[in-house]
Amino acid sequence: MLPSILPESCAPGNLFGQPCENSHLNPWIVAAPLVAAAGAGLTAYGARYPHAQLFGPVISRTNSARKLAITFDDGPNPSMTPKFLDLLARYNAHATFFLIGRYARECPALVREHVARGHAVGNHTQTHPNLFRTGPARTRDELRRCQEIIGEAAGAPPKFFRPPWGLRSPWLATPAAALGLRTVMWTSLPGDWRAPTDQWLIDRAAPVADRARRAAGATGDVVCVHDGSHDRQNADRSHTFAALEYWLPRWRDLGLEFVTIEEAVRDPAS
């Protein structure tokens, strides 16, 4: 039972100088707004915080400080994705691309190219909605349609899923599990979609190298950048390209291994 938070003047006297009509006012009436606020805060934490497990298990780190998982959202993007694939090949780097279903349907050959080059492709929903605001039925449909399109193009359905904007909901875990999907978040989100310059984004990605130099802890980073844009095709991601062109050789020289998400969590850790 919650302790009473009423002033003594309201038992049965006055509350803030006003007469009390009921000398036994239920403390839950006063506590309800506080409980609601706490619940809203917990929900926001579970929906947004990358490492939160409130709405189901998530992958947000690699299982070794030596493993770096570079992930791309919002593709495939015909004007930029091939450039990223060539850049990754230059450093023998594997990555994970979370694809929007409607774009994958437009570019099935590009989906196949991801797989042919040793990258993993993941589910990023069919149309990139805010899943915290969509109901259970649409959430299931968004995941299912994307899963089918990518599976048909790639030859196998994805094993991993990233929610748009990283927003989860209480009804997400069930349809994701039914499709065999594991949810992936991140440790590093440098904000490449709003980068004003190459150097701004290069600086924002610096903490990954700082952690690699310290080699602290038993886990490594999952970096989230974008090769496309959820609201249009052929988006310019040249700042992202420039930042990766700068950091890939430096991350490699620090001894980091570029892995897909599946390799990032595979046992035993290396």
Which residues are the active-site residues? Answer: 73, 226
SS (H, E, C) the chain: CCCCCCCHHHCCCEECCEECCCCCCCHHHHHHHHHHHHHHHHHHHHHHCCCCCCCCCEECCECCCCEEEEEEEEECCCCCHHHHHHHHHHCCCCCEEEECHHHHHHCHHHHHHHHHCCCEEEECCCCCCCCCCCCHHHHHHHHHHHHHHHHHHHCCCCCEECCHHHCCCCCCHHHHHHCCCEEECCCECCCHHHCCCHHHHHHHCHHHHHHHHHCCCCCECEEEEECCECCECCCCCHHHHHHHHHHHHHHHHCCCEEECHHHHHCCCCC
